[in-house]
Amino acid sequence: MTEPIPMLDLKAQYATLRADIQAAIERVMESQNFILGPEVEALEREIAAYSHCRFGVGVSSGTDALLLALMTIGIRPGDEVITTAYSFFATAGSIVRLGARPVFVDIHPDTLNIHAQAIEARITPRTRAILPVHLCGQMADMETILAIAQRYNLYVIEDACQAIGADFHGQRAGSLGHLGCFSFFPSKNLGGAGDSGMIVCNDPHLADRAVLLRNHGHRPKYYNQAIGGNFRMDALQAAILRAKFPHLETWTAARGRNAALYAELFRQAGLAGEDGPITLPREAGWGRHIYHLYQIRAVRRDELMAFLKSRGIASEIYYPVPLHRQECFAGMGFEAECPQAERASRETLALPIYPELTPAQIERVVTSIQEFYRL
């Protein structure tokens, strides 16, 4: 029996980092300083610099980064926030949790990102912000989005939870909007040993507001200037992430190589041509794709997934239900026409792309897919 191929092999990664991570944990344990503090501040500086931003605000998760970012710009009940119909739930959930309305825009079929040209038609007097997601590790069309935001005086919050290190004409994810949000969930390109996230930005006033609201809005302690929450980052997460962060560029390069090898092998196999059964992920050409996910579109997607599983190859559907179709939003008036998002939810399949994946494993994935379509 051949070895199974998982979606992600965190044990393989840990094996190469064990000593550094153990030392990081030990450092925090010796300090007995567990919440915020010097480790979090150091990570904030490192991630902000990496993301071409002046400020980083370490938080408890990517979801909380989004919620806190929306709180920071003062999103309130009745406000409208324009976002994509095709993302992880937190993108829309964070808007609704503040009593605001998500206005869903369909995706561009090539990139699976928000169709920037379709945004303007959805702007109303209540629109306060645009929340694009850089899905799979490729940035949305920020040039168009920023131009619209400027014309209508809207905030832009980047959901960069899948896109740390991606860029748009050389400008890093998180640095183009007013606020950028990262997740360090274990499966993300830079993942911790639990939940955490970060907001990055260039505006000192927004950074200060985010810092205030991250810790209940009190300043000084027990004197509350605003109603915030507990969105604080753990020192243990920061220390572990700091041990992993120096390897991020190497991992990103490996993901890029894996994507290139997939494309080459799929084309050689005749699977990804004009009438081939699969469609490869497309790069828009405006910057680095960091391949958080390698999303293909596949004919008979669900059958293919089951076949791969029978061969010990993991794959995953991101996402089976577009946001405007989520049950919890039924009857809330968030209906939208998003046929491309619905099509994507039926056709896309994410294949393993993690850095430690070997060329032989990638070949096995492609060969198995070839075998499936020959059946």
Ligand X SMILES: *Cc1c(COP(=O)(O)O)cnc(C)c1O
* The binder of ligand X chosen from 113, 175, 183, 202 (CB under 6 A): 183
- Contact at 8 Å (CB) between 198 and 218? no
Separation between Cα atoms, residue 322 and residue 305, nearest integer Å: 19
* The binder of ligand X chosen from 39, 79, 106, 195 (CB under 6 A): 195
Q: Does 158 bind ligand X (CB under 6 A)?
A: no
Distances 129 to 137, 156, 201, 202 between C-alpha atoms, Å: 22, 6, 16, 17
- Contact at 8 Å (CB) between 186 and 292? no
Binding segment for ligand X (CB under 6 A), chosen from 13-21, 156-164, 307-315, 351-359, is: 156-164
Cα 235 to chain centroid, rounded? 22
Closer by beta carbon to ligand X, 55 or else 319: 319
* Site track for ligand X across 33-72, x = CB under 6 A: ----------------------------xxx---------
Closer by beta carbon to ligand X, 155 or else 319: 319
Q: Does 87 bind ligand X (CB under 6 A)?
A: yes
Strands 197-201 and 55-59: antiparallel
Tokens of 130: 């645009």
Q: Does 90 bind ligand X (CB under 6 A)?
A: yes
Separation between Cα atoms, residue 362 and residue 88, nearest integer Å: 26
Closer by beta carbon to ligand X, 83 or else 175: 83
Number of H helices, E strands in the chain: 11, 12
Closer by beta carbon to ligand X, 24 or else 190: 190
Q: Name the minimum Å distance from CB 63 to ligand X.
A: 3
Tokens of 84: 């994509």
Binding segment for ligand X (CB under 6 A), chosen from 143-151, 154-162, 237-245, 250-258, is: 154-162
Select the residue whose beta carbon is closest to ligand X and give its number.
62
Q: Does 138 bind ligand X (CB under 6 A)?
A: no
Count, residues near ligand X per rule CB under 6 A? 15
Closer by beta carbon to ligand X, 185 or else 262: 185
Q: Does 159 bind ligand X (CB under 6 A)?
A: yes
Separation between Cα atoms, residue 7 and residue 354, nearest integer Å: 7
DSSP letters, 145-210, are HHHHHHHHT-EEEEE-TT-TT-EETTEETTSSSSEEEEE--TTSSS--SS--EEEEES-HHHHHHH
- Contact at 8 Å (CB) between 114 and 84? yes
Q: Name the minimum Å distance from CB 151 to ligand X.
A: 26
Q: Name the minimum Å distance from CB 8 to ligand X.
A: 13
Q: Does 161 bind ligand X (CB under 6 A)?
A: yes
Q: Name the minimum Å distance from CB 319 to ligand X.
A: 10
- Contact at 8 Å (CB) between 161 and 136? no
Q: Does 162 bind ligand X (CB under 6 A)?
A: yes
In the complex, the residues that contact ligand X under the rule CB under 6 A are 61-63, 87-88, 90-91, 133, 159, 161-162, 183, 185, 195, 197
